[in-house]
Copies of this chain bind each other. A is one copy, B any other.
Amino acid sequence: MKERRRVTIRDVADAAGVSVATVSRVMSGSHTVNSDMAERVRWAMQELEYRPNGAAQGLASGMHRSVGVVLPDLSNPYFNDIIKATYVGASREQYRMLVTEWREPGEELGVSLDVLSRVDGLLLLSARMDIDGLRDLAARKVPTVLVNRVELGVDLPMVAVDNFSAMLELCQHLASLGHRRVVYLAGSPSAWQNRERWRAVQQARILGLDPVMVAADGTIEAGFEATDEALSHDPTALIAFNDLAALGAIARLRELGLRTPADISVTGFDDVSLARFADPPLTTIVSPKAALGELAWAMFEASLRGERIEQPPLLRAAFVHRASTGPARTSRSRV
């Protein structure tokens, strides 16, 4: 039943005929250790298949070699792409990743704090917690980087995409196709990205757009369900918060016998990997997800080292015209 006792640093030390302190030094790559002693130690580690106990290391040194990733929705492929990029950086530095999802808004700070005693810092993806929560975190002086959220007056490194400009560009495209009456299928009201995107859509009045906001969320289901209300405003185009919502909307439109983009145009945001395979392929914004993830890691690493890094500029996202948008229908034939 009881497996062979775990081999500890003690065992290695004994086998190599040195002290545990020396073994520890060898592991940390300290240079103040005689080279053939180090060799013996390494040999013993091999021989005994020694694996340092992470919890003990963490307790003793205060460093856990892992980063906590906190996000709103594990099943959203958008986050995957970011995490993926972050992960390559992390694993390069032998860092592990503790992933935590919060479901209820309000849980977010709690789960973040919760995980703090097991990680060296936090990556907050699309954080929606209120500014006091962010300040709380910032005050703890724990390396924390905000991804896809910028909040002036919070002393935390942030990396984000220029949602505003990108969305404006998208609106420009719509305007040039003759669209006027458009509905914005909103994301979560507490999401910074949502606020930015909506701000841009409103700004686009200047381009001739006449936008209305309809509450939804960044999921397929929410996009699907919000579509009926959106149609009540008789729009020629739907500007969805993200690709998922756009896909949901298109599905509902199809159910209703409306063609995209002949009857109504739909746009997405993010360019999740499957967006270009959709029917129709989504006109959307290509978020630099990999760059975002890499930069997030770089910032994290820097603040781990205590370097005072300057805030990088917002990342640019490219507009891509695919087949889900077309010229605005002119006749007001529908309810």
Contacts and interface: CB of A to CB of B under 8 A. Distances in A.
A55 interface: yes
A51 B87 contact: no
A87 B98 CA distance: 12
A255 to B, nearest CB: 13
Q: How many copies of this chain does the complex contain?
A: 2
A250 B277 CA distance: 9
Contact of A117 (B3, B52, B101): B52
Contact of A74 (B83, B114, B279): B83
A198 to B, nearest CB: 24
A25 interface: no
Contact of A80 (B59, B75, B87): B75
Interface string A77-115: 100110110010001000011111100000000000111
Given A59-B55, A66-B98, A277 B114 contact: no
Contacts of A302: none
A46 interface: no
Contact of A279 (B53, B54, B66, B277): B277
Instruction: Give the interface size class of chain A.
Output: 35 or more
A308 to B, nearest CB: 12
A141 interface: yes
Interface in A246-299: 247, 250-251, 272-274, 276-281
Contact of A114 (B51, B80, B113, B272): B51
Contacts of A1: 141
A140 interface: yes
Interface string A40-83: 00000000000111111011000010100000001111001101
Contacts of A52: 117
B140 A3 contact: yes
Nearest to A58: B55
A220 interface: yes
Nearest to A56: B59
Given A3-B139, A55-B56, 7 more contacts: A51-B116, A55-B58, A55-B64, A74-B84, A75-B77, A75-B273, A97-B100
25 contacts: A3-B139, A3-B141, A51-B116, A52-B117, A54-B55, A54-B58, A55-B55, A55-B59, A55-B118, A59-B59, A74-B83, A74-B84, A75-B77, A76-B80, A77-B273, A97-B98, A97-B100, A98-B99, A118-B118, A247-B277, A251-B276, A251-B277, A274-B277, A278-B279, A279-B279
